[in-house]
Structure 1
Amino acid sequence: MRPLRYAINVTLDGCVHHEAGVAPDEELMGFWTAERADAVIYGRTTYEMMEGAWRRPESGVWPDWMDEWEIPFADALDRVPKHVVSSTLESVDWNAELVSGDLGDAVRRLKDQPGEGLSVGGVSLPLALAELGLIDEYIFVVHPIIAGHGPRLLDGLSERLALEHIERREFASGAVVQRYRPVLDPLP
């Protein structure tokens, strides 16, 4: 069974908005590139945002704005299969397919396939998957920024989620990777 990992950049005050100033530098981009997954699961908003930034242009040449150290990440993301959860999109491309039917059942089927793992990003979809108990690992890259506004990490979770800390890694930028697993039998 493939584990499902929720991986996201977050500010010290819990903001997960991509415009909160948490863009990875070369060291962090290397970390994100190394976080291998056989496939990613996105909601519509994250899918469209990632496609707009990281899809290989039809010319096959990455845009001039992209730094050389961003290309390995872009290449990896461009190639990986994508599963898109959306009630508004009628079709997707970019090596993607729409997830249909019951979300929990669909994600369980994806997890049951062999492989290294699945990755989910975004805001609303991870909240729904956390509520269903389907996330096996949480990877938060905490940036030394206080955004003061914006969508917050798992905001609206209906019940407390107990986590076990399994890894901590610091970067030169001051960002810190915090990796957790859900505690199966949390104390009351």
Structure 2
Amino acid sequence: MRLLRYSINVTLDGSCHHEAGLPPDEESMRFWTEDMQAADAVLFGRVTYQMMEEAWRKPTVGPWPDWMDEWEVPFAEAIDAVHKHVVSSTLDAVTWNAELVRGDLGAAVQQLKNEPGDGPLAVGGVTLPLALADLGLIDEYVFVVHPVLAGHGPTLLAGLRERIQLELVDRRDFRSGACALSFRPATPTA
């Protein structure tokens, strides 16, 4: 069974708006590239899917966009290539190596987790991961914590119905002061 891993950038005050933290640098992009390359597939809600497609889909002709630095290309190539599952009740169709996920969210995601694979099923975004956490389906949480107080934006897992106790399983510090913290749900003690 594949693990479902939720990964996201977050500020010290919990903002997970995509522009609230530090700007990407070569070290952070290497981290996110490795994360994407390790995934068997990704799971996005409609908003995140459309935002990522707009930013990272390879143009049908010509090179990558001029705004993209050379050190961002490996991430762009990784996310462009990975298979995507998109949870949406409003989209009629998706492209970009993607397929729609419909019906009961818990059953559909459990079915994706049960599919064979060597790497995790990665999920990103804000709204979809909240629903998946409430369903108890997330097996690993990776928070790249930025040394920033944003004071605005959506906050990490706001509205979670029940407390989830986590245990730290890995930590990676970046020169920028950001820190990648990996957690798994704690095993209940008897």
Q: Distance in 2 between matches of 1:32 and 1:10?
A: 14
Spell out the pairing of 1:176-187 with structure 2 (5 A cutoff): 176-185=179-188
Which 4+ stretches in 1 moved above 6 angstroms? none
Q: Does 1:145 align with 2:162?
A: no
Q: Does 1:55 align with 2:57?
A: yes
Task: Give yes or no for contact 1:162–1:186 (8 Å, CA) kept in 2.
Answer: no
Spell out the pairing of 1:90-101 with structure 2 (5 A cutoff): 90-101=92-103
What residue ranges of structure 2 are gaps of 5+ in the alignment?
none
What is the Cα deviation at residue 184 of structure 1?
Answer: 3.1
User: In structure 2, what is the equivalent of residue 127 of structure 1?
Assistant: 130
Q: CA RMSD in A?
A: 1.1
TM-score by length of 1: 0.97
Structure 2 counterpart of 1:114, one-letter code: P
Describe the SS at the equivalent of 1:145. Answer: coil
Spell out the pairing of 1:157-172 with structure 2 (5 A cutoff): 157-172=160-175
- Higher mean C-alpha deviation, range 17-26 or range 92-101: 17-26
Describe the SS at the equivalent of 1:178. Answer: strand
What residue ranges of structure 1 are gaps of 5+ in the alignment?
none
Q: Does 1:136 align with 2:169?
A: no
Aligned counterpart for 1:81 among listed residues 53, 72, 83: 83
Q: Tell me the percent identity.
A: 67
What is the Cα deviation at residue 24 of structure 1?
Answer: 2.1
User: In structure 1, what is the equivalent of residue 121 of structure 2?
Assistant: 118
Structure 1 counterpart of 2:24, one-letter code: P
User: In structure 2, what is the equivalent of residue 155 of structure 1?
Assistant: 158
Describe the SS at the equivalent of 2:29. Answer: helix
User: In structure 2, what is the equivalent of residue 6 of structure 1?
Assistant: 6
Task: Give yes or no for contact 1:9–1:22 (8 Å, CA) kept in 2.
Answer: no
Structure 2 counterpart of 1:176, one-letter code: C
1:130-153 deviations in Å (ceiling 9; x for gaps): 000000000000001110011000
What is the Cα deviation at residue 114 of structure 1?
Answer: 1.4
Describe the SS at the equivalent of 2:44. Answer: strand
1:94-152 deviations in Å (ceiling 9; x for gaps): 00000011101111111011111110000000000000000000000000111001100
Structure 1 counterpart of 2:43, one-letter code: I
Aligned residues: 187
Distance 1:60 1:78, change over 3 A: farther
TM-score by length of 2: 0.96
Task: Give yes or no for contact 1:10–1:22 (8 Å, CA) kept in 2.
Answer: no
